[in-house]
Amino acid sequence: MQLVFATHNNNKLQEVRSLLPDSIELLSLDDIGCQAEIPETGKTLVENAKIKADFVTKTYGYNCFSDDTGLLVETLNGAPGVYSARYAGIDKNAEANMAKLLLALENENNRNAQFKTVIALNLNGSYVTFEGVVDGLIEHEQMGEKGFGYDPIFKPNGYDRTFAQLPLSVKNEIGHRGKAMEKLIYYLKTIG
């Protein structure tokens, strides 16, 4: 089976490729010649994931899935949420996003947060969504060299290290994207 993952993010692509069985040929936006930065104009993670998957399916004719992920910080009423990638500006700078978040939480004792991923799948004319969530805390400073986005400041519950300090195999097993992907893979196996 051939599927497009609607992303230009090589870190995400690597993470997802490591989860998929060999029977699924995963293509990126670059692989299908899509250089467009698909606008994420939705008000929710579900809407943004669907916008991206629909763009690829309608424009290029491929079965496609897309994800949208948000970091939801309890004391900030769920912010940055759907705007996580653009929290500090439209250039999607991870360092600036983390700096802004750490500043917003500087005097906060409640550092509870959760990562949430929603995957939208367009497959042979049908549309399905899958969700994965992981709870944790926002650290006071960046720790670790692995991962991307907010990984250096997010410590999942039950672990003493941030996502950026954990091996990819552990992150995939316990993380939001890994949980959503597990549901997607199970779905693909049951229909195919």
Residues serving a catalytic function are: 68
Going by their DSSP bridges, the two strands 2-5 and 64-73 should be labelled as parallel
Closest CA to 122 of 4, 29, 41, 21: 4
Alpha helices in 81-163 (DSSP H): 94-104
Check if the beta carbon of residue 115 is closer than 8 Å to that of residue 123. no
Q: Which of 73, 100, 104 is nearest to 86 (CA)?
A: 100
For residue 30, the SS3 value is coil
By the 8 A CB rule, do 172 and 18 touch? yes
How far is 184 from 174, CA to CA, in rounded Å? 15
